[in-house]
Amino acid sequence: MDVMANIVYPVAGLIGLYAFVSLASLVWEGIDRKLVARMQRRVGPPLLQPLYDFFKLASKETIIPNTANFMFRAAPILALATAIALLAYTPMGFAPLLASKGDVIVFIYLLTLIGFFKILGGISSGSPYAKIGAAREAAIMVSREPAMMLALFAILWRLGKLRVNKPFSMEVFYQYNIWEIGTPLSLVGAVILLYVFVIWLASEIEVGYFNIPDAEEEIAEGLLAEYSGRYLALLKLTKALKTYIAASLVVAIFFPWGIADYFNLTGLPANVVNLLFHTLKVFILLFAVQSVFRATTGRLKITQAVGFLWKNVFLASLIGALLIAMEVIM
């Protein structure tokens, strides 16, 4: 049935994924806080603390500043809507729901759009703190995305040479992966690109060095300075979703292996098992990139962070991409 296959199943899948990922990403935040607390010899909050926070925030009175305009209220909703739409394009142990030729551009676009809406919401509050946070967010955003795009396009282009039916789709990662090319050049290139993606992930979820736009000690939580109540709850949820999605991308590129085949599963059970295994991989990756990085490093200055992203990460991305492309070009 056409309607079933094209509309009903994707919508049902999206709702299911949204419910699962919201829960998983909030639980991860609880785990993260617990782990960091343990690293600092504290007891830390309970694992479900982010859920309690969410409901608490959602039930509190929402204060709208006098200077705010309509975007202040629209931005959290738009950001969350974008994040939910993005779930349909995110590889999560299986091909994305709406996998199609060239969907990588939609993925990058939507991922960036979340940040853009956050910026719009921040400046719409009229608070100067939020404005500073927005300027920082924009600077980081412009600096971090080119490195990721270059690396991602290089990998997808290289995998596209292996005769896939949907080039430049996120689905490709489950047909071939970057380690399979197997030549020394590509292996070195892939390791360099892994470095690029790890740093990108850290800057995307703004931890460690890159916890700059929200820096609560300097600019009173920056972009979020004026947000309260349920809008803040929505933004926190969006951030959790975004963390999971960005980590999913890195996992799909570098560690796409599923385990369903070992249990001879097909269809829905296979997808569920792969999703759970994927989530485990996401948690492990986030442990390294988020928890450890957050516990062991402090914040850079905005100029240092921008310099680091261009001079170090983008350069690495360039070298890695060239190494990956080398054998095809030559």
Partner 1 sequence: MNGEAILPYLIIIPLFGAFAMPIVNLAGKKARDAWAVLISALTFIISSVIFYHIWNTGEIIVYTLGAETPFGQGVDFPIRIVWEVDLFGAIMVFIVAFVSLMAVIYSIGYMKHDTGLDKYYTLILILELGMLGIAITGDLFNFYVFLEIMSIASYALVAFRNDTWEGIEAGIKYMFVGSIASAFVLLSVALLYGQYGTLTMGYLAVKIVQNPTVTAKVALALFIAGLLFKSGASPVHMWLADAHPAAPSSISAMLSGLVIKIGGIYAIARILFSIYTPMAHSIVLKAYLQPHINMSAIGWVIIIFACLTLIIGNAMAVIQTDMKRLLAYSSVGQIGYILLGLGISIAAYGTQTGEIALAGAIYHTVNHALMKALLFLVAGVVIHQLGTRNLNELSGLAKTMPKTTFAFLIGAAAIVGMPPLNGFASKWLIYESSAIFNPILGAIAIIGTAFCTAAYVRVLYTFFGRPSEKVMAAKDPETSMMLPMLLLVLAIIVMGLLPWQISDKVMIPAARMLEQFRFEYINALMSLVGGA
- Residue 73 CB: number of other CB atoms within 10 A? 15
Q: Which of 61, 70, 184, 298 is close enough to bind partner 1 by CB under 8 A? A: 70
Polymer length of the chain: 330
The CB-of-67 to partner 1 minimum distance in angstroms stands at 5
Q: Which of 21, 57, 86, 106 is close enough to bind partner 1 by CB under 8 A? A: 106
The answer to whether 126 and 67 are in contact (CB under 8 A) is yes
The answer to whether residue 71 forms part of the interface with partner 1 (CB under 8 A) is yes
Q: Which of 24, 26, 68, 275 is close enough to bind partner 1 by CB under 8 A? A: 68
The answer to whether residue 10 forms part of the interface with partner 1 (CB under 8 A) is no
Residues 121-180 interacting with partner 1 (rule: CB under 8 A):
123-124, 126-128, 131, 134, 138
The answer to whether residue 17 forms part of the interface with partner 1 (CB under 8 A) is no
* Lookup: tokens for 78: 């738009």
DSSP assigned state of 313: I
Q: List, in order, residues 6 or more apart from 305 with CB less than 8 Å away.
A: 140, 143, 203, 209, 210, 212
The answer to whether residue 69 forms part of the interface with partner 1 (CB under 8 A) is yes
The CB-of-121 to partner 1 minimum distance in angstroms stands at 9
The answer to whether residue 101 forms part of the interface with partner 1 (CB under 8 A) is no
Can you tell me the distance from the alpha carbon of 297 to that of 209, in angstroms, rounded to the nearest whole number?
6
Q: List, in order, residues 6 or more apart from 214 with CB less than 8 Å away.
A: 133, 206, 221, 222, 223, 224
Q: List, in order, residues 6 or more apart from 271 with CB less than 8 Å away.
A: 93, 94, 260
- Give the position of tokens 């050049």: 185
The CB-of-130 to partner 1 minimum distance in angstroms stands at 10
Task: Tell me the C-alpha to C-alpha distance, in Å, between residue 123 and each of 13, 133, 136, 277, 287.
Answer: 35, 9, 12, 39, 32
The answer to whether residue 229 forms part of the interface with partner 1 (CB under 8 A) is no
The answer to whether residue 109 forms part of the interface with partner 1 (CB under 8 A) is yes
**Candidates 61-69, 166-174, 292-300, 314-322; binding stretch for partner 1 (CB under 8 A):** 61-69
Backbone φ and ψ for 128, nearest 5 degrees, come out as: -65, -30
**Candidates 1-9, 69-77, 162-170, 187-195; binding stretch for partner 1 (CB under 8 A):** 69-77
The CB-of-56 to partner 1 minimum distance in angstroms stands at 29
# residues contacting partner 1 (CB under 8 A): 16
Amino acid at 173: F
Residues that bind partner 1 (CB under 8 A): 67-71, 106, 109, 120, 123-124, 126-128, 131, 134, 138
